[in-house]
Structure 1
């Protein structure tokens, strides 16, 4: 195998596929990046069995020659060294040659590296996915969906199913839900399907997979094709394939958890509420559950307090934009509220309370495609 390649494109693709590689794998080939040079261009693959990423660099892109294939072939190179080497090579072009016994030479300007490669035949094959049921999402929307849900997944492995985001598709509406049993984030979005009958109800994607996908998705105005099977999901972008295994098990029925009525409803300025809770948390940072107390008064004012006996007390007064219902006192995890406020794309939020010890709902006022649910905290 022998080819020359544009360094910047190569570095970016190497960084993308490296995100799927785990140093803890028991399969030696999976500690490396598989490189295949063919007549169309160069394909790079990284995998840890749970996530697999394939990046393709075409011979030409917008009339710029990126790759010159001198001899087709394939090799697996140790990711740990290879990624650092290509990043630091001096010139815009890299020449890669594989000789006998998988010995690989990288040349760029005055630099030359000789690396011991691995047999590409030992590299596990990527999952074969039948592309019958496809739906499409614009890249920027997919990035938003991930950002607005994945933060709420559980980081504790005691209930593995809660470490993922639950996706359902019905009548062209994608519903994405994440919960760690103390808070819940839900996001809806209209998507394009290749078949009006495409539906699924129990697809749970690991939060780790979605975080890695979000890092490699480009902000460009392009579509991502998504294909779901029984145990895999495939995201197809321009010159990138991202495979992830799905989590086994049934996701809890979250629809029943969301209250349909409220005793007290308040509308607040998102930025002012965020800043008030952030200040309240300054004194409870060392506490385990970041408890913030809220008192909603019929006068239309809200009082936010936080008390840490050995440190002190903070009191914030906040004007509401709209207030209906009874007076209320409630305590909650302030950090969870901040996490949600950071992803709500709305200048105002409405919070509906059903009682001092019942879960409450927070929604943006400018659209109805998301909601957040929180459990209160007992303070006595």
Structure 2
């Protein structure tokens, strides 16, 4: 194998596929990036047991030549060293040549690296997916869906299914749900389907997979194809394939958790509530005590307090834009509310409370495409 390639384009592809490579793998060939040169261009692949990423660099784009192929072939090179080397090479182009015994030479200007490669025949083949269940959405919408739900997944391996984000499609509407059993984030979005009958109800994608995907797709309105099978999901865009395994098991029936009535309803400006809770938690020690207490006072105001016995107490007053229902007294994890307020993208929010020890719902005041559910905390 021998080819010359534009370094910037190559570095970007190397960084993309590196996100799928785990240093903890027990399979030596999976510590490497597979590089395959054909007369169409160069394909890079990275994989672990959960994620596989394939990035293709075509021979030319818009009449600009990116790759010159002198000899087709393939090699697997250690991802950790290779990624660092290509990033720091001195020239705009680099040449890669594989000789006997998988010895690989990288040349850029006056820099020459000789690397020991691995046999590409040992590299596992990417899954072949039947493209029956396909739907599309803009990349920027997909990034938003991930950002607005992934923060709420569980990090505890005791219930592996909760480390994923549940996706369901019905009537062209995709619903994404994440919960760690103390909070829940739900987001709806309209998507383009290849069939009006396309529907599924129990697709659970690891939160880690979606977070890595979000890092490598552009924030544009270009459409991305999404293909779902029984145990895999494929995200397919121009010159990029991103495979993820799906989690086994049944996701909890989260729709049953969401109350359909309220005893107290308040409307607030989200930035003021966010700032008040952030100040309320300034005295709490990280990870020890994030409890915030809220009660109604006169003039339809909310009083937010947080107490850390060995440090002190903070009290905040927040004006409501609208208030209806019973007087309120409730305690909850303030950090969970902060996480949700940071992704809600609405200047005004409504919160519906159903009692001091019942879950409560927060939504944007102007749209119904998203909701957040929180469990209260018992403080007595």
TM-score tier by shorter-chain length is over 0.9
Which digits, 9 at most, give the CA deviation of each residue in 1:257-302, with x for residues without a partner?
Answer: 0000000000000000000000000011346240000012463111
Give the TM-score taking structure 2 as reference length. Answer: 0.99
Mapping of residues 302-313 of structure 1, within 5 Å = 302-313=302-313
- 1:223 and 2:223 are equivalent in the alignment: yes
Does the 8 A contact of 1:183 with 1:374 survive in 2? yes
Q: Which residue of 2 aligns with 1:340?
A: 340
- 1:282 and 2:265 are equivalent in the alignment: no
Q: Which residue of 2 aligns with 1:46?
A: 46
Q: Which residue of 2 aligns with 1:36?
A: 36
Q: Give, in angstroms, the shift of residue 118 of structure 1.
A: 0.6
Counterpart CA distance in 2 for 1:212 and 1:372 is 23
Q: Which residue of 2 aligns with 1:355?
A: 355
- 1:161 and 2:139 are equivalent in the alignment: no
Counterpart CA distance in 2 for 1:309 and 1:174 is 45
Q: Give, in angstroms, the shift of residue 3 of structure 1.
A: 0.4
Aligned residues: 380
Which digits, 9 at most, give the CA deviation of each residue in 1:161-188, with x for residues without a partner?
Answer: 0000000001100000000000000000
Counterpart CA distance in 2 for 1:223 and 1:298 is 51
Q: Give, in angstroms, the shift of residue 220 of structure 1.
A: 2.6
Helix, strand or coil for the counterpart of 2:205? Answer: strand
Q: Which residue of 1 aligns with 2:97?
A: 97
Q: Give, in angstroms, the shift of residue 77 of structure 1.
A: 0.4
Helix, strand or coil for the counterpart of 2:342? Answer: helix
Helix, strand or coil for the counterpart of 2:130? Answer: coil
Q: Which residue of 2 aligns with 1:7?
A: 7
Change (3 A) 1:247 1:29: same
Helix, strand or coil for the counterpart of 1:343? Answer: coil
Which digits, 9 at most, give the CA deviation of each residue in 1:126-172, with x for residues without a partner?
Answer: 11100111100100000000000000000000000000000000110
Does the 8 A contact of 1:298 with 1:326 survive in 2? no
Does the 8 A contact of 2:289 with 2:308 survive in 1? no
Mapping of residues 121-136 of structure 1, within 5 Å = 121-136=121-136
Give unpaired runs (5+ residues) of structure 1: none
Q: Which residue of 2 aligns with 1:258?
A: 258
Helix, strand or coil for the counterpart of 1:24? Answer: coil
Q: Give, in angstroms, the shift of residue 27 of structure 1.
A: 1.2
Which digits, 9 at most, give the CA deviation of each residue in 1:192-224, with x for residues without a partner?
Answer: 001111111000000000110000011132111
Q: Which residue of 1 aligns with 2:234?
A: 234
Between stretches 179-188 and 213-222, larger displacement belongs to 213-222
Does the 8 A contact of 2:138 with 2:220 survive in 1? no
Q: State the 4+ residue runs in structure 1 displaced beyond 4 angstroms.
A: none
Q: Which residue of 1 aligns with 2:140?
A: 140
Does the 8 A contact of 2:150 with 2:178 survive in 1? yes
Q: Give, in angstroms, the shift of residue 23 of structure 1.
A: 1.3
Give unpaired runs (5+ residues) of structure 2: none
Between stretches 268-277 and 291-300, larger displacement belongs to 291-300
Q: Which residue of 2 aligns with 1:81?
A: 81
Helix, strand or coil for the counterpart of 1:361? Answer: strand
Mapping of residues 157-236 of structure 1, within 5 Å = 157-236=157-236
Helix, strand or coil for the counterpart of 1:367? Answer: coil
Give the TM-score taking structure 1 as reference length. Answer: 0.99
Does the 8 A contact of 1:167 with 1:201 survive in 2? yes
Q: Which residue of 1 aligns with 2:375?
A: 375
Helix, strand or coil for the counterpart of 1:168? Answer: strand
Counterpart CA distance in 2 for 1:59 and 1:49 is 30
RMSD: 0.8
